[in-house]
Amino acid sequence: MNKKLLIFSIIIIALLTGCDKNKDFCIHVIDVGQADSILITTPSNKNMLIDGGDEDSAKIIKSYLKNKKVKNLDVVIATHPDSDHIGSLDYIIDNFDVEKIYMPNQTTDSECYINLIDSCNKKNLKVNYLSKDDSFNLDDSTNIYVLSPSYITDNNNSNSIVLNISYKNNNFLFTGDCEESNEMDMINSYDLEDIDFLKVAHHGSYTASSLTFLEETTPDIAVISCGYKNSYGHPHKSTLDNLESVDAKIFRTDQNGSMQFYSDGEKIYSKVKYKEYK
């Protein structure tokens, strides 16, 4: 091989290597307005979707998954049956290959819940139930432990599935719309002193994210999924104040749109400099 051809080959190899997709663990916070939808992807190509936004989120989530080359979902979690969390999951079930779906052991007569169950039945997809102390692995490096609910109440938010996900030495907490009573139960039941990443409960409502809970968990990064100028006033000032008091870095979908946070198992980082709430 002559010198010019050798140099050209080295350049091509370097360019191809530079184009390799990032293989670190990734949390994709999908901007679905005043709703929730989070995609988790692992280096071993496992995919988990936590919640599916509201009824108007279907095309947003489908487009996002297609853009990320996600063709199948190993796990779908419906944290609780509110329409802003399961509204488009029937569409996702209809249009993607889903291996497992988990929900709290609660039924409702809402249209979005009935549509979701119908979609599962059409695909012969068994609905599995999760509650406190359940656990499963997404892959060899990704362990998932269920912290809540302890029991089912007549309050949908209190029935939210709360997940503590560990990837190597990083810990992530996904809280659905859990409430302060759930938080107190969790910190009385578990050692949650080292949370690196928190999906803030209930779009930043004052009904959760108590100072006691945040002082126990001390999250480094706190992400809030909420709609721009939403009618609920989310996130509430008390929640933001509590997060600031524990020095959490706060990122919001109403200010940044969809966000991606990566983990190499030791540190969490992003490729984009997102606007941090001050």
Predicted TM-score (pTM) of this structure: 0.92
Task: Inform me whether the pLDDT recorded for 17 exceeds 80.
Answer: no
pLDDT at residue 229 tops 70:
yes
Q: Sorting pLDDT into bands at 50, 70 and 90, what band is 256? A: very high
Q: What is the pLDDT of residue 261?
A: 98
CATH of 22-269, one of 3.20.190.10, 3.60.15.10, 3.40.50.300, 3.30.300.130: 3.60.15.10
Instruction: State yes or no: pLDDT of 225 exceeds 60.
Output: yes
With a cut of 60, say whether residue 14 has pLDDT above it.
no
| pLDDT above 70 as % of the chain | 92
Instruction: Give tens-digit pLDDT for 26-38.
Output: 999 999 999 999 9
Rounded to an integer, the average pLDDT of 271-276 is: 97
What percent of the chain shows pLDDT beyond 90?
91
For the chain, what is the HEC assignment?
CCHHHHHHHHHHHHHHHHCCCCCCEEEEECCCCCCCCEEEECCCCCEEEECCCCCCCHHHHHHHHHHCCCCEEEEEECCCCCHHHHCCHHHHHHHCEEEEEEECCCCCCCHHHHHHHHHHHHCCCCEEECCCCCEEEEECCEEEEEEECCCCCCCCHHHCCEEEEEECCEEEEECCCCCHHHHHHHHHHCCCCCCCEEECHHHHCCCCCCHHHHHHHCCCEEEECCCCCCCCCCCCHHHHHHHHHCCCEEEEHHHHCCEEEEECCCCEECCCCCCCCC
